[in-house]
Amino acid sequence: MGSPDDIVVVAAVRTPITRAKKGAFKDTTPDVLLATVLRTVLERTGVMGEDLGEICVGNVLQHGAGAAGSRMAQMMAGIPHTVPLSTVNRQCSSGLQAVANVASGIRSGFYDIGIAAGVECMSLASMSGSVPQVNWDAVNACREAKDCTIPMGITSENVAAKYGVSRQEQDAFAAASHTKAHTAQQAGKFREEIVPVTTYVKDKDGALARVTVDADEGIRPGTNAEALAKLKPAFKAGGSTTAGNSSQVSDGAAAVLLASRRRAAQLGLKVLGVFRGFAVAGVPPAVMGVGPAFAIPAVLRQTGVSKDDVDVYEINEAFASQALYCIRELGLDPLKVNPNGGAIALGHPLGCTGARQVATLLHELWRTGGHIGVVSMCIGTGMGAAAVFEKEPVAAAHSRL
């Protein structure tokens, strides 16, 4: 079944996603979360750490020496120093880019098995960000270069204004995200992908309390469009983007174990899904949220899949404005998009999100009997990324790819 050279996913897990600066991971560092998911994909599959050819970690808000924290997490997970590690930062697609990087390494023959992961602890980051060290005279003389500095919330306002996405539509979309996520959570749909994390939380007096976190924190049952309509615009007076119809600032980690089909068969591993293709498209920085509307067609062309062949779309909900625009522009069936909610309800730990979406997608395909799925997201500074995954077919003849 399939080609021995196929790139297959044999495990995909994530931590719960918690609220930045307020939630259960507010005092937990990225190395702890990352070590947890790295360790778990090995435990679930029985793969030995020393057999890995590469670990690639998506991480946006890197501290200090950048890759050092991820390398520390590798050691903490019991993976020997002989296994190389890299980090990658393509903004909100970093977790998916890590998957693509490991898949590319396997396809090129550099190694035959590796882990792609993503992690972000936004609790530890300043939300105001740091000013890049650039030649500001030169940047300001180039409009699109200057547009790369536009705050993400303003790019959402730009999309809403340019493409006619109303406040009412955005609030209804956000409410639906919470409803879908709450329904999924209550039904236990996230149980297979979530790895419980035991950690410590400081109370208001600085005392540490030991807690075990096993569920996403950001989901708000009972959220409705009427309540969201009362929120003030978050980014500009008279705007339509609010805290309620934007993604949440969050903490979390995810990991995906990939291998060639040949190697997976040698190790006796169950195939969760097949990585079929990946594409990144550039778009104007001022409306960066439209990225998926360009990246998804690109990856569908690359893999020979039609939009209607896709059973599930996991499209990151950075903002309701841009998610709605992309769904509408591509003519997607809304029932196929984020059936278990998205980042507005679950949260958006930047470097983690792409890997988290892969875990959510593949488990959903198995649960529902779906066959083909797409993961996509917009990217700050003006890009979109997308990847196609195929659930392992019962028989090769059933494959649409």
Q: How many Cβ atoms are within 10 Å of 311's Cβ, its own excluded?
A: 20
Query: Residue 23, Cβ neighbours under 10 Å: how many?
Result: 24
- With a CB cutoff of 8 Å and minimum separation 6, the contacts of 31 are 69, 70, 72, 73, 76
Amino acid at residue number 100:
A
DSSP letter for 97, please.
H
Tell me the C-alpha distance between 6 and 259, whole Å.
8
pLDDT tens for each residue of 179-224: 999 999 999 999 999 999 999 999 989 999 999 999 999 999 999 9
Nearest to 373 by CA among 331, 342, 338: 338
Residues in the chain: 401
pLDDT digits (tens, 9 = 90+) for 67-106: 899 999 999 999 999 999 999 999 999 999 999 999 999 9
Evaluate whether 29 touches 283 at the Cβ level (below 8 Å).
Answer: no
What is the CA 282 to chain-centroid distance, rounded?
A: 19
* 176, burial (CB in 10 Å: exposed 0-12, middle 13-18, buried 19+): buried
Place of tokens 């490991």: 102
pLDDT at 129 over 70: no
From CA 164, how far away is CA 105, in angstroms rounded?
42
Question: What does the pLDDT look like over 360-387, one tens digit per residue?
Answer: 999 999 999 999 999 999 999 999 999 9
- Give the pLDDT score at 65: 67
Euclidean distance between CA atoms 140 and 68, whole angstroms: 34
352 is catalytic: no
Dist. CA 94–CA 271, nearest whole Å: 24
Q: Choosing from 182, 348, 363, 371, which is the catalytic residue?
A: 348
What tokens does 310 get? 């896709």
Average pLDDT score over residue span 225-251: 98
Rounded Cα gap, residues 314 and 296, in angstroms: 11
Tokens of 377: 């997201």
| Amino acid 398: pLDDT | 38
Burial of 159 (0-12, 13-18, 19+ CB in 10 A): buried
Residue 110, amino acid: F
Question: Counting beta carbons within 10 angstroms of the beta carbon of residue 139, is it exposed (0 to 12), middle (13 to 18) or buried (19 or more)?
Answer: middle
CA distances (Å), origin 163, targets 147, 298, 326, 338: 18, 21, 10, 22
- Quickly tell me which residue has 């030649």 as its tokens: 135
pLDDT of residue 63: 79
Longest CA–CA separation in the chain, Å: 62
Tokens of 271: 């195939």
Q: Quick one: CATH architecture of 7-126+151-389?
A: 3-Layer(aba) Sandwich (3.40)
How many other C-beta atoms are found inside a 10 Å radius of the C-beta of residue 306?
Answer: 10
Answer yes or no: is pLDDT of 395 > 50: no
Write the burial class of residue 326 (CB in 10 Å: 0-12 exposed, 13-18 middle, 19+ buried).
buried
85-88 and 113-121 strand pairing:
unpaired
Active-site residue 142, yes or no?
A: no
Cβ atoms of 175 and 218 within 8 Å: the answer is no
Q: Which of 99, 29, 32 is nearest to 61 (CA)?
A: 29
- Check: CB of residue 274 under 8 Å from CB of residue 366: no
Q: Between residues 58 and 394, which one has the greater pLDDT?
A: 58
Can you give the residue ranges of every domain in the chain?
7-126+151-389
348 labelled catalytic: yes
Average pLDDT over residues 5-20: 98
Tell me the pLDDT tens digit for each residue of 306-328.
Answer: 999 999 999 999 999 999 999 99
